[in-house]
Structure 1
Amino acid sequence: MTATIIMLAYGVSADFMDEYLRIGETTTIKCLKNFVKAVLSIFSEEYLRSPNNNDIARLLAVGQHHGFSGMLESIDCMHWKWKNCPSKWKGQYIGHTHDPKIILEILVSYDLWIWHAFFGLPGSHNDINVLEQSSVFSELAKGHAPPVNYSINGNDYSMGYYLANGIYPL
């Protein structure tokens, strides 16, 4: 567990554990795989899934209550500084801040339930570039979305939407 937590918390490689904890690389990788399998077996049915019909109804009701008819969830992208970025990758992960960063795209509901997370795009991307590569939006473009019927300003819609922050001025 110690090796797994250190790898996840500090982003170090498996062979680092040989020096630090005297645990071999293959043993460390095996521990990490067992940890991930345990997380999946414990949490996958309840948390690591797409929203079902009951979840969607609850999300829409809360959105409606707050004045956002048809809103399913909020979406945003975070840029995280990547301290241990390999030097051969730094060029593609460096953006305008001159530090290598890695991007997390996340869909989250009002109760902080994370429905989707995509981690790993280069920090040189902006939010629009991330969303263009997003599996969430590629599914929406194909018409794969929960059926949601609502009306705004006399226009009828049949597909829910994700609320995003305004990244550019009007």
Structure 2
Amino acid sequence: MFCRRFRMGRSLFLHIVEKVEARDNYFVQRRDSIGRLCISALQKIIAVFRMLAYGCLADATDEYIKIEESTTIESLKRFSRAVMEEFADEYLRSPNTADVVRLLRIGKDRGFPKMLGIIDCMHWKWKNCPTAWARQYAGCSGSATIIIEAVANYDLWIWHAYFGLFGTNNDINVLEASHLFSNLA
């Protein structure tokens, strides 16, 4: 149930909560002026995850988690900053030499020699595209789409992402405009 609701395992979720709490004391639960406990870190971070996972608005979390819109927005800003500070060096970077050697070894062990990861282009329908931009981002379906190119390895470490710009976008054009292959060369 937890994995379905939060789209991640409980241990990973609690690990993120622990690291974010340690990074920013905004998420540490305090008492108000009359001694009652205020909003917990779990409530704030659950509100943030609901916004990120389901695309719901900040004021929609008020009904479910009982947090004001302004608190949810501040939590999102501080959560994003804390995650970047805490995890960027490990997860939001290009592979270094040791990573490339490890990925090549794993690929070879799995029967795919000289394979670093999997590249894919995904077409996202841009539901709230401004009307003035809609034709510039129109894909083959006729509706506004954004193409994201991503490279992931066997354990879903996404080490490259690129969003296609407006114009005639297909997978080939996005791959051509991306700096992925020039960075690996």
TM-score by length of 1: 0.63
More helix by share: 2
Select between 119-128 and 53-62 the one with higher mean Cα deviation: 119-128
Match of 2:83 in 1: 39
- Given candidates 133, 139, 149, the residue that maps to 1:95 is 139
1:125 aligns with 2:166: no
CA offset at residue 46 of structure 1? 1.7
User: What's the TM-score, normalizing by structure 2?
Assistant: 0.59
| Bigger mean CA offset, 83-92 vs 32-41 | 32-41
Which structure dedicates a bigger proportion of its chain to strand? 1
- Which blocks of at least 5 consecutive residues in structure 2 are unaligned? 1-43, 63-67
1:135 equivalent to 2:179? Answer yes
Residue of structure 2 equivalent to 1:157: none
Paired with 1:123 and 1:82, the residues of 2 have a C-alpha distance of: 14
Match in the other structure for 1:113? 157
Q: Structure 1 stretches of 5 or more lacking a match?
A: 146-170
Tell me how far apart the structure 1 counterparts of residues 58 and 140 of structure 2 sit (CA, whole Å): 33
- Name 2:94's counterpart in structure 1: 50
CA RMSD of aligned residues (A): 3.0
Query: Which one has more relative contact order, counting CA pairs under 8 Å at least 6 apart?
Result: 1
SS state at 2:116 partner: strand
The percent identity for this pair of structures is: 55
CA contact (8 A) 1:101 1:123 kept: no
Cα 1:85–1:9 shift into 2, 3 Å: farther
Corresponding residue SS for 1:91: coil
Cα separation, 2, equivalents of 1:135 and 1:30: 34
2:129 maps to what in 1? 85
Separation in structure 2 between the aligned mates of residue 54 and residue 5 of structure 1, nearest angstrom: 32
Could you tell me which amino acid in structure 1 is paired with residue 183 of structure 2? E
Cα drift, residue 82 of structure 1 = 1.1
1:72 aligns with 2:120: no
- How far off is 1:139 after superposition? 2.6
2: CA distance between counterparts of 1:37 and 1:80? 26
Stretches of 4+ moved more than 4 A in 1?
1-12, 16-24, 27-32
Is the CA contact (8 Å cut-off) linking 1:74 and 1:108 kept in structure 2? yes
The alignment covers a number of residue pairs equal to 136
